[in-house]
């Protein structure tokens, strides 16, 4: 029984599924079922951690320790707190749905598809519970490998190879600097255990250099302007399930990194660079929102709106007060659900009509009413309508940002207006107007699999929008802990 209380079990569970998949006969039903069941088991298992989570402490929980490189004093050290718990839950929540998204649309290498997602799941859970900087880096980078394959193998067009390269190179380019920073830290302090590093003080000049090294890596992941351009490319070329993971989890690695490392470890540098972050984020919000208005590709629209939302998150993080950071966490989670669901919506359309260009669509409200209701719900959630999860996040972020920099909050709030403009523009183009029968000959509404794929999203988004306190309570102590660190 004790083994179920271990985070390492959670990491190995999907891996076990992946290994099992290697040896089963080539029966597609069996392969799918094994994949889905192991992902669902991981999800159920991850829920146990939330149930057993102790809200009243900011310390890391479910801690496990193992010697990894004893000669260099590097240990495999895992544990979670109120911040990382939800990212793990988000990961385990999204993976089964990704499998459902690829249920019938993935036609080749089906076994490998399932394996890729299970491996990806294990790696992502590992990233979020690593408490050792070097190992964090290892898993942070290793996530790229399955993702690169997912885009490259199951992507849709010829351009996918280029997009996959771009994705890989951009993120790798940033990470090199982080590796240098980590090595520097290691040679300075002799350890990469982040709990020790939290309590170590560095001189301001070092902090600035280190902060910049970490920033280079995280900023690409968030992504911040001007290194955001890999994202729309990667999204457009990735299969639906890949887009879901990309938007749902990989983007959060950047903001998670800021919150886990940059802010508590380098408090002086964080204060020093806050104006930079605010400037870049505000530019990104306005700039990408404007760009979104001119896109013709369904996926690009959602990808650009993701950039805008993620930069909202960075504003909240660097406002360095509880409202801002908790709001950011809420918005990250919310964005993980909402934009994933929007990508799934695009996937539903793409599966039927094999085009993502907006101009071929129109009048779907008549032929696909259920789909349009779902699409509308997530469109409204994307523009942070009250009652949905995004509103809670954006409102808290604005409260936080208003206290730390009124001007930035005002500019960021313009994103609200632009967000409404592009979201509604997209929905209206797809759902309203007349049908275009010479482009789209056949119609079918959501089938049962698709409906139940969306249902969990709807429930979670409304739940977080109406009763967010249960999430906030869990993250509160960890966030306060983080803020106290940054005030030292």
Partner 1 sequence: MNEWLYESAWLVAILPYFASLVAGGGLLVLRKATRSLREWHRTFLMGSLATSMILSFLLVQAQLGGSGPYRWAMDWIVSGHLRLQMGYLVDPLSSMMLVLITTVGLVVMLYSHKYMAYDQGYVRFFVYLSLFTASMLGLVLSPNLVQVYVFWELVGMCSYLLIGFWPNRLGAAKACQKAFVTNRIGDFGLLLGILGLYWATGSLEFGEIAERLARLLASQALGLFFPTLCCLLLLLGPLAKSAQIPLHVWLPDAMEGPTPISALIHAATMVAAGVFLIARMCPIFQQLGTVMETMAWAGALTSLLGASIALTQTDLKKGLAYSTMSQLGYMVMAMGIGSYEAGLFHLVTHAYSKALLFLGAGSVIHGMEPLVGWDPAKSQNMLLMGGLRRFMPITGTTFLLGTLSICGIPPLACFWSKDAILAGAWAAHPILWTIAWTTAGMTGLYMLRIYLLTFEGRFRGGSLLPYRSHQKAKPQEDGGMTSCLLILALPTVAIGWMNTPWFHLGPGPSPSLIAFSSMAVSSVGIALLGGCVAFLAYQRATLGLSGLSYQWPQLHRASYNRWHIDEIYDRSWVRTNQILAERASALDSWWIDGVANGAGLIGLVSGQANRAWQGGNLTYYALSMTIALVSLLAIVTFSTLP
Pick from 174, 148, 145: nearest CA to 161: 148
What are the residue ranges of helices labelled H in 76-203? 84-101, 110-129, 133-142, 144-154, 160-189, 194-199
Nearest residue to 38 via CA among 85, 102, 124, 99 = 99
Using CB under 8 A, pick the residue from 226, 357, 359, 449 that binds partner 1. Answer: 226
Q: Does 399 bind partner 1 (CB under 8 A)?
A: yes
d(CA 347, CA 168): 23
Is residue 405 within the footprint of partner 1 (CB under 8 A)?
no
Tell me the three-class secondary structure of 335-397, residue by residue: HHHHHHHHHHHHHHHHHHHCCCEHHHCCCHHHHCHHHHHHHHHHHHHHCCCCCCHHHHHHHHH
Decide if residue 417 touches partner 1 (CB under 8 A).
Answer: yes
Token representation of residue 68: 């990894």
Query: Which residues, other chains included, contact 198 with Cβ-Cβ below 8 Å and sequence gap of 6+?
Result: 264, 265, 485
Closer Cβ to partner 1, 30 or 169, answer by number: 169
Q: Kindly state the tokens that stand for 289.
A: 């929102």
Q: Give 79 or 433: the residue with its C-beta nearer to partner 1.
A: 433
DSSP classification of residue 357: B
Contact code string over 86-125 relative to partner 1, x by CB under 8 A: ----------------------------------------
User: Residue 214 is inside which H or E element, if any?
Assistant: helix 204-221
Stretch that binds partner 1, among 73-81, 115-123, 238-246, 465-473 (CB under 8 A): 465-473
Q: Which of 247, 398, 460, 464 touches partner 1 (CB under 8 A)? A: 398
CA 152, 247, 455, 366 torsion-angle sign:
negative
Instruction: Give 30 or 455: the residue with its C-beta nearer to partner 1.
Output: 455
- Under the binding rule (CB under 8 A), the answer on residue 472 touching partner 1 is yes
Contact by Cβ (8 Å): 253, 221:
yes
Question: Which residue carries 């990309």 as its tokens?
Answer: 246
Q: Among residues 44, 47, 229, 276, which is the contact residue for partner 1, using CB under 8 A?
A: 229
Dist CA 482 CA 83 (whole Å)? 10
Of 324-353, which residues contact partner 1 (CB under 8 A)? 326-327
Residue 374-393 contact track with partner 1, rule CB under 8 A, x = bound: ------x--x-xxx---xx-
Nearer residue to partner 1 within complex by CB, 52 or 387:
387
**431 touches partner 1 by CB under 8 A:** yes
Residue nearer to partner 1 on the CB measure, 160 or 476: 476
Least distance to partner 1 from the beta carbon of 363, Å? 7
**Which of these ranges, 71-79, 90-98, 137-145, 431-439, lies near partner 1 under the rule CB under 8 A?**
431-439
Q: Which is nearer to partner 1, 109 or 407 (CB)?
A: 407
User: Which CB sits closer to partner 1, 433 or 456?
Assistant: 433
């Amino acid at each position: 029984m004790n083994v179920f209380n271990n985070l390492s079990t959670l990491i190995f569970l999907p891996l076990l599924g992946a290994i099992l998949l290697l040896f089963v006969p080539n029966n597609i039903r069996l392969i799918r079922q094994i994949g889905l069941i192991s992902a669902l088991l991981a999800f159920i298992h991850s829920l146990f951690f939330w149930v057993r989570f102790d809200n009243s402490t900011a310390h890391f929980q479910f801690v496990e320790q193992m010697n990894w490189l004893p000669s260099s004093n590097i240990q495999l050290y895992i544990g979670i707190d109120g911040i990382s718990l939800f990212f793990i839950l988000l990961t385990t929540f999204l993976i089964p749905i990704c499998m459902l998204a690829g249920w019938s649309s993935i036609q080749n290498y089906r076994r490998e598809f399932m394996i890729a997602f299970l491996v990806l799941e294990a790696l992502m859970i590992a990233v979020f519970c690593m408490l050792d900087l070097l190992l964090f880096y290892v898993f942070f980078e290793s996530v790229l490998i399955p993702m690169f394959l997912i885009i490259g193998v199951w992507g849709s067009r010829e351009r996918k190879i280029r997009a996959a390269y771009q994705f890989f190179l951009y993120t790798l380019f940033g990470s090199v600097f982080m590796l240098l920073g980590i090595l520097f830290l290691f040679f300075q302090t002799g350890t990469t255990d982040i709990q020790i590093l939290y309590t170590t003080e560095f001189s301001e000049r070092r902090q600035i250099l280190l902060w910049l090294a970490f920033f280079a890596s995280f900023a690409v992941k968030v992504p911040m302007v001007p290194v955001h351009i890999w994202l729309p490319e990667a999204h457009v070329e990735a299969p639906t399930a890949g887009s879901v993971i990309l938007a749902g989890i990989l983007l959060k690695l950047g903001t998670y990194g800021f919150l886990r490392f940059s802010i508590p470890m380098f408090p002086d540098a964080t204060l020093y660079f806050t104006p930079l972050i605010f400037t870049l984020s505000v530019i990104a919000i306005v700039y990408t929102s404007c760009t979104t208005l001119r896109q013709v590709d369904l996926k690009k629209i959602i990808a650009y709106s993701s950039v805008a939302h993620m930069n909202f998150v960075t504003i909240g993080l660097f406002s360095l007060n509880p409202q801002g950071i908790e709001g950011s966490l809420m918005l990250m989670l919310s964005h993980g659900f909402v934009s994933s669901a929007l990508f799934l919506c695009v996937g539903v359309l793409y599966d039927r009509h094999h085009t993502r260009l907006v101009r071929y669509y129109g009048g779907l409200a008549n032929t696909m009413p259920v789909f349009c209701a779902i699409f509308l719900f997530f469109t409204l959630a994307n523009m942070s309508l009250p009652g949905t999860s995004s509103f809670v996040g954006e409102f808290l972020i604005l409260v936080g940002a208003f206290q730390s920099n009124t001007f930035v909050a005002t500019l960021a709030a313009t994103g609200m207006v632009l967000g409404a403009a592009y979201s509604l523009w997209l929905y209206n183009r797809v759902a309203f107007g007349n049908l275009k029968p010479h482009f789209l000959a056949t119609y079918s509404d959501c089938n049962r699999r698709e409906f139940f794929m969306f249902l969990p999203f709807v429930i979670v988004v409304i739940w977080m929008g109406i009763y967010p306190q249960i999430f906030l309570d869990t993250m509160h102590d960890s966030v306060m802990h983080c803020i106290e660190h940054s005030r030292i």
